[in-house]
Structure 1
Amino acid sequence: MATMILARHGRSTANTSGVLAGRQRGIGLDEHGHAQVRAAAERIRGIPLALAVSSPLQRCLQTTSGLLEGHPEAPRVQRDRGLLECDYGEWQGERISSLARRRLWRTVQEQPSAVVFPGGESLAAMQARSVAAVRRHDAEVEAEHGPDAVWLAVTHGDIIKSILADALGMHLDLFQRLHVDPASLSVVTYTPSRPFVLCSNTHEGDLSWLRRPAGRRSRRSDAAVGGGSGPA
């Protein structure tokens, strides 16, 4: 029952230029993206982090570094290709405005489970490997640090949307209903009975309530009927 904070990288130079960066090298954060990450870092500064895992792409590594800068208990950082951006194949490097005119675009919007990017990856395969990666890390964190441990995963928008869809029990064809902004934070707790999505796409607010006080029992695997009393 460890708890995972999912962070999307801050705004990148590709985001502002309207290009689908994909796995291209040399795509870093712009000035506003760095500011977004500094603000997000303040939100998690009061949380002991057992682990930080990042996509190996530059914009995510910059975000991870910024989130952990000055953290009083900064953990070790692992790079995991399971959290790598979707392989968009021939779409990579193209302008979003141009891609939106292609026939496959409608399928991406309406039936993502059927999408295989030309020369690239299917969205179903992207979801399978990213969910497997975070569930593996979550189990390892709990085994090593206990059920109250909190850890950080820094990755990309479509990856986070697919992980949240899985945690919510949503079919992949519904994952476009989710929205994940640059430098936003989402929180998921996996339990023996089900995942709990504690928040998604948040931009403000101290998350130190994720740190459970000594002597307080860990979150239950059962849902709180009526909604419960919330964090202390």
Structure 2
Amino acid sequence: MATLILLRHARSAANGSGVLAGRTPGVGLDETGGCQAAGLPARLEGVPLSRVVVSPLQRCQETVAGLARQREIEPVVEERLAEVDYGDWTGRKIKELTGQELWKVVQQHPSAAVFPGGEGLAQVQSRAVAAVREHDRQVGSHEVWLLCSHGDVIKSVLADALGLHLDSFQRIVVDPCSVSVVRYTETRPFVLKINDTGGDVSGLLPPEESSSSDAVVGGSTGETA
């Protein structure tokens, strides 16, 4: 079974602007984001990567560029991992959107939210999970691969892996340049990390031996006698 690192793009020029950038072209990393991206090779040192899959948007490609170059891996651009198509909301100020009736739906009942002129969040989850499952099947057993995408896209994938209804995905926090880790097995995914911004990569390494799809009874993480 493969191990998936879900990496949200580093801080972008739009993250602190109060504007919903969505798929607006030309949105790259800001100075902080550039530093975050530059630190990824050291942060993931010792973690083998067999594949890097990335959203087509600039901020994601800038985030993984240095890491991919160091590992001599050509990133695979995956359209299904693109940012949410916010339609008519794209480019608008967040403070203008919070008064919209749809805003309440996005917050409280996101599975029913469809952006005017854009797509629905249920549609986002469907395309993203399908892409993740497809790439994971292609990666060899016990290998590690990395996916760089956007906050809501990653949250929808994590909700699926956790067995949560999409209406609960707003309870998940995914910060810029954070990593979350999922290991898929024949019968279920195991979520190993969520929103990790530190440097401990021990949970990213593949298991030394073939692992069961069974969960540990009692929650123990120690060795069995």
> Are 2:194 and 1:200 equivalent residues in the alignment?
yes
2:219 aligned partner: 227
- Specify whether residues 212 and 55 from structure 1 end up closer, same or farther in structure 2 by C-alpha distance, changes over 3 A only: closer
CA contact 2:2–2:206 (8 Å) conserved in 1: no
Task: Return the letter of the residue paired with 2:26.
Answer: G
SS at 1:181 equivalent: coil
Deviation at 1:220, TM superposition (A): 2.0
CA contact 1:185–1:202 (8 Å) conserved in 2: yes
SS at 2:190 equivalent: strand
1:53 aligned partner: 53
CA contact 1:40–1:203 (8 Å) conserved in 2: no
Q: TM-score, normalised by structure 2?
A: 0.94
1:106 aligned partner: 104
Pick one of 175, 179, 199 that aligns with 1:181.
Answer: 175
Deviations 1:154-174 (A, max 9, x none): 000000000000000000001
2:142 aligned partner: 148
Deviation at 1:193, TM superposition (A): 1.1
**Structure-to-structure mapping, 1:22-33, within 5 angstroms:** 22-33=22-33
CA contact 2:151–2:175 (8 Å) conserved in 1: yes
**Number of aligned residue pairs:** 223
- d(CA) in 2 for partners of 1:218 and 1:35? 37
- d(CA) in 1 for partners of 2:41 and 2:191? 21
Deviation at 1:230, TM superposition (A): 5.6
Deviations 1:151-194 (A, max 9, x none): 00000000000000000000000100001000000000111110
Deviation at 1:68, TM superposition (A): 3.0
CA contact 1:186–1:201 (8 Å) conserved in 2: yes
CA contact 2:5–2:204 (8 Å) conserved in 1: no
Q: Please identify, of 118-127 and 96-105, the stretch whose mean Cα deviation from structure 2 is larger.
A: 96-105
- d(CA) in 2 for partners of 1:5 and 1:152? 5
Deviation at 1:42, TM superposition (A): 2.0
SS at 1:187 equivalent: strand
Q: TM-score, normalised by structure 1?
A: 0.91
**Structure-to-structure mapping, 1:150-169, within 5 angstroms:** 150-169=144-163
Deviation at 1:69, TM superposition (A): 4.3
CA contact 2:3–2:182 (8 Å) conserved in 1: yes
CA contact 2:10–2:34 (8 Å) conserved in 1: yes
SS at 2:192 equivalent: strand
Deviation at 1:199, TM superposition (A): 0.4
Deviations 1:76-103 (A, max 9, x none): 3100001000100000001111111111
- d(CA) in 2 for partners of 1:164 and 1:14? 24
- Specify whether residues 217 and 113 from structure 1 end up closer, same or farther in structure 2 by C-alpha distance, changes over 3 A only: same
Is there any run of 5+ residues in structure 2 with no aligned partner, and where? Answer: none
